[in-house]
């Protein structure tokens, strides 16, 4: 991007703020189309509406730091201020207004709490200043435009009439995820999987590893031209209790007709009213996207397949639940989860990543324990785990 508007003043922001600004620039939070001034921000805070469309909180930029605060307090209406990330110019703002905010009220808006023990509150307070700036802006962030083009190309390639969106962390990708993707494909021409890519992700299962496992499943076991994976850069605005509303808004503005979410999604807020399940979406304005609430899947040891509570007559004591945290705990301890929980190839990818060079003499162990050609061949750790899982499935000896 060429910056024809030069300025001696600069505001320093981080990559997360840049990505969030880009969401608005690319129309992915529409009808929000810019940084809100004080009057608009207060109105949105009070009504939860922007241009007669539901929006959970005001959209503002209030970067922390003594240098930023000095610059913000000096800005005048109509002045151009440069945006920088790591001292690199990434955009500009034509100032409309600078106004003071209460950081505690701001985190309450986003997270529904000011409790400093909340991880989102902690992270946001570290980067949230006391002064916000409004005005027209432009940022250099082509990633989101590329994703929009990818989705449009995929839709045009197969002439998709119905496109469904799924927001997934896949930490790790397990059998219930697979079932959900398949059932969504039954109803849709194209499924877009928005794979979460947080800015403060731990190194246990990084985005690249989760992408690789999802890509393997899609290319090996699904009609790959009908499913695409795109990153959803999970900035701070998605981390609060309004997550599911923003997910629906982003999916809608990416051109999806439906958002598929689990019935136990933390942000759904389902409740019973007159024998009908309602959710937060029943009270929103302006949304055109359909919301499909999917059942929770479990493995029934009598049915011997994946079931939902609507399709299985056997009690929960016969069900194996797919709790991602518990499955991940097995992997962290170096244990292969049973294939009924996670596909063996995906477990192999994860364990090989988590425990590199785990075996002193992998080739010898492989040769001693695994059936093969009789030749001592170089084997990867992933191959070893896959073959080991196959040994676990031997059933003639019990």
70 and 23 fall within a common domain: yes
Answer whether residue 3 is part of any domain: no
Rounded CA Rg of the chain: 24
**344 φ, ψ to 5°?**
-60, -35
Q: Is 175:343 a contact under the CB 8 Å cutoff?
A: yes
Looking at residue 398, what is its pLDDT?
53
312 and 377 fall within a common domain: yes
Answer whether residue 1 is part of any domain: no
Domain count within the chain:
3
CA dist., res. 212 & res. 193, Å (int): 13
155 and 276 fall within a common domain: yes
pLDDT of residue 44 exceeding 50, the answer is yes
What pTM, to 2 d.p., does this model score? 0.90
Residue position matching structure tokens 């009609």: 223
Regarding beta strands 80-85 and 49-50, do their DSSP bridges make them parallel or antiparallel, or are they unpaired?
A: unpaired
pLDDT of residue 303 exceeding 70, the answer is yes
Given 294, 320, 344, the domain boundary residue is 294
What tokens does 221 get?
């076991």
Mean pLDDT of 253-264: 89
134 and 147 fall within a common domain: no
pLDDT tens for 268-301 read 554 444 444 456 667 788 899 998 888 889 999 9
pLDDT of residue 315 exceeding 70, the answer is yes
320 and 213 fall within a common domain: no
Residue range of the domain that includes 342: 299-393
31 and 134 fall within a common domain: yes
What tokens does 240 get?
């609060």
Closest CA to 267 of 249, 240, 305, 297: 240
282 and 358 fall within a common domain: no
129 and 33 fall within a common domain: yes
71 and 54 fall within a common domain: yes
Answer whether residue 389 is part of any domain: yes
């Amino acid at each position: 991007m060429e910056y024809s508007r030069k300025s001696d003043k600069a505001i320093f922001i981080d990559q997360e703020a840049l990505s969030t600004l880009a969401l608005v620039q690319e129309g992915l939070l529409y009808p929000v189309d810019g940084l809100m001034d004080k009057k608009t921000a207060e109105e949105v805070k009070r009504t939860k509406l922007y241009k007669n469309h539901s929006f959970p909180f005001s959209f503002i930029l209030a970067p922390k730091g003594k240098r930023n605060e000095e610059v913000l307090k000096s800005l005048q209406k109509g002045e151009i201020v440069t945006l920088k990330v790591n001292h690199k110019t990434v955009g500009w703002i034509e100032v409309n207004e600078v106004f003071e905010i209460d950081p505690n009220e701001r985190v309450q808006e986003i997270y529904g709490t000011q409790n400093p023990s909340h991880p989102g509150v902690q992270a946001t307070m570290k980067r949230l200043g006391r002064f916000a700036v409004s005005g027209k802006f432009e940022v250099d962030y082509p990633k989101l435009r590329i994703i929009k083009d990818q989705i449009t190309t995929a839709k045009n390639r197969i002439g998709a009439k119905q496109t469904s969106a799924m927001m997934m962390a896949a930490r790790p990708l397990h059998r219930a995820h697979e079932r959900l993707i398949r059932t969504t494909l039954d109803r849709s021409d194209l499924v877009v999987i928005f794979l979460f890519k947080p800015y403060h992700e731990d190194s246990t299962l990084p985005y690249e590893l989760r992408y690789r496992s999802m890509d393997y499943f899609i290319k090996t076991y699904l009609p790959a031209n009908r499913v695409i994976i795109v990153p959803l850069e999970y900035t701070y605005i998605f981390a609060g209790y309004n997550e599911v509303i923003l997910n629906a808004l982003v999916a809608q503005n990416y051109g999806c007709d439906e958002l598929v979410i689990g019935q136990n999604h933390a942000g759904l807020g389902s409740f019973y009213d007159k024998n009908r399940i309602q959710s937060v979406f029943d009270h929103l304005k302006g949304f055109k996207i359909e919301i499909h609430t999917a059942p929770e899947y479990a493995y029934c040891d009598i049915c011997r397949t994946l079931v939902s509570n609507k399709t299985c007559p056997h009690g929960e004591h016969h069900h194996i639940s797919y709790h991602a945290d518990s499955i991940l705990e097995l992997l962290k301890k170096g244990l292969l989860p049973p294939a009924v929980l996670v596909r063996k190839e995906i477990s192999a990818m994860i364990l090989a990543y988590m425990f590199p060079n785990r075996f002193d003499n992998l080739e010898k162990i492989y040769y001693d324990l695994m059936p093969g050609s009789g030749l001592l061949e170089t084997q990867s750790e992933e191959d070893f785990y896959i073959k080991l899982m196959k040994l676990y499935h031997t059933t003639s000896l019990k």
